[in-house]
Chains A and B, each alone.
Chain A
Amino acid sequence: MRILLEFKDVKRWPPLGKKGVLRGATFRVSAGEFVCVLGHPSSGIWTIPPLLFGLATATGGKIRILGSIGLDMEKKKKIAYVPKNFLPPPGITIREFFLLHAYLNRFSLPQSRLHSFLQEVHLYPHRHKLLEKLPASLLNLTYIAASLLPSPELVIYEDISEQVDENTAPLINDLLIEVVKHQGGVLLLSTGVGLIETLFHPYMYFFYKGKALGEGELADLNREEETLLVEVDGISEDLLHSDGVISVENLSDRCRLEILASSWSRLEKVILESGGIILSVDRQRFRIRDLLQV
């Protein structure tokens, strides 16, 4: 299956004063797939779009977009993205917003095509309404519908469920099903599980402290994970970026590592071989849902 987007061990240490740490983010969206990257707002999920669109620089790893590394104008035309805090341009109607979208995406949108599409998404009766006067759910539907013109290959939405109600959810559902049917990919970046995530049962990546802690289905959120809090004296640089290391905290004379229990035997060897001294090991159990705080 064609891979539309792939983050492979992507790391980012932001410049001083800026947010958005990634410690080896890995996930993939293939054609015809519905994927959700789920995590707490500070888990690094909001760093994914800036890295994808070249607005921030990764310090390591690879980002493959639509089959190759790098993003050019042609690829950008095939990606639809709606940021979560996006406010409507003032004084603009639904119809005008679709036209603005067409200008920005450099495609022509004849009136007949626009009107038939608006009818399809049930926005035609509202076409002359100002965006700022629309209820949040209808506004969200407008953004999503506009982003799907002209048939993008990859669509990325942020916290889509927050502004969806029972009336618009089936419509959005139909639109997204169409994308997936036409071998497009849908990527949701979510800080919680809402209507859309429940409707679609996307394949999920659970993000925690800048990397995917695990992956699976929605039900896996209730899965229990065991992590270890390990205090080490003398630690090699390589270990900090190893798989299984969730976070590193530098204390005055030692380091405190949070490690996935499943990676412990491998990491223990690495620590001892590099001359580190293990001072203490504490086990803690979490449900993934509690750990992600979603």
Chain B
Amino acid sequence: MTLLLAIAQFSYRKLKTDKTLLYLLSGILVLILLFCFPTLLPGQYPSTPSLMASTGLDFLAIYIGSHLLATDAADGSFYYFLSKPLSRDEYLFGKYLGGVAMLLTLFFLPLSELMAVDYLYRKGDGIFSFITLMGLNFSISLAFLSLALFLSVEKYTLQTLIFLTVLLFLSFLPRFLPPGFWSLWLMYYPGAWRFSASVGSPSKEVIFPVILGYIYALLFLVFAFMKFRRRELA
């Protein structure tokens, strides 16, 4: 356990000093302020800062996931760690924990406040709904983090980043298709629930997509482990 925490701490510190991540976060916050706050006029409903914040968090999760291994490969720490008496699984899981810790920091420090402001502004139907909404957002971001890690195991960092960002924006597309598609989409993509959750008050039925989000995250993580075990690392 100490070993995993040591790798996680290393990974977290590396992400903390990643300037690109800081710029991306700042960019997302500026975008939210630009688009949402001008609409905060008396009697008007702001244009979904919660949705923007959660989408932004997904994007940051994709960035983190796709860079977890790439940065280590570039600066030699990859070989340093794997020459130590630890398995590939331990190394990958330690790195993943560091990524999750960074995601939690981003989630609880700047982005969740925006979601909370949004929620309080709309005076939701209780703390339970608020927690569900937060859980939903975090589970989806976690799934994106795992998916990015899984895809980047093959070293295609930039391709992973571009592919998943496009996928993230395409995931909104079924909203504009006939209702049949939308209800089908709601069944498989938990992120789709954000629309209903951000426009109205999140209800108890959102628990299903929250669980689905965590299942996806776990599944992609398992795939990442399987792929990483077999990969040629030189």
Contacts and interface: CB of A to CB of B under 8 A. Distances in A.
Contacts of A56: 232-234
A95 to B, nearest CB: 14
B16 interface: yes
A15 B231 CA distance: 11
A76 B83 contact: yes
Interface stretch (A79-87, A180-188, A282-290): A79-87
A76 B76 contact: no
Contacts, number: 82
A100 B16 contact: no
Interface in A70-118: 73-74, 76-77, 79, 81-87, 89-92, 100, 103-106
Contact of A53 (B7, B17, B75, B82): B82
Interface in B68-113: 74-77, 79-87
A92 B79 contact: no
Interface in A1-21: 14-15, 18, 20
A219 interface: no
A133 B233 CA distance: 30
B76 A84 contact: yes
B17 A49 contact: no
B226 interface: no
Interface string B180-211: 00000000000000000000000000000000
A159 B7 CA distance: 26
A89 B13 contact: yes
B233 A91 contact: no
A85 B75 contact: yes
A166 to B, nearest CB: 25
B80 A103 contact: no
Interface residues of B, number: 25
Contacts of A18: 232, 234
Most buried by A among B75, B77, B84: B84
A95 B18 CA distance: 23
A129 B13 CA distance: 16
Contact of B83 (A20, A74, A79, A84): A79
Contact of A83 (B2, B10, B76): B76
Interface string B1-31: 0110011001001101100000000000000
Contacts of A77: 85
A174 B13 CA distance: 33
B85 A86 contact: no
A287 B14 CA distance: 45
Contacts of A267: none
Contacts of A87: 75-77
Interface string B53-81: 00000000000000000000011110111
A199 interface: no
Contacts of A89: 10, 13-14, 77
A87 B232 CA distance: 22
Interface of A: 14-15, 18, 20, 47, 49-51, 53, 55-57, 73-74, 76-77, 79, 81-87, 89-92, 100, 103-106
Q: Name the 7 nearest CB pairs between A and B, nearest first.
A: A50-B234, A56-B234, A55-B233, A86-B76, A85-B76, A87-B75, A83-B76
Given A14-B234, A49-B79, A89-B14, 16 more contacts: A14-B232, A18-B234, A47-B234, A49-B83, A55-B233, A56-B234, A73-B86, A76-B83, A81-B83, A86-B77, A86-B79, A87-B75, A87-B77, A90-B13, A103-B3, A104-B84
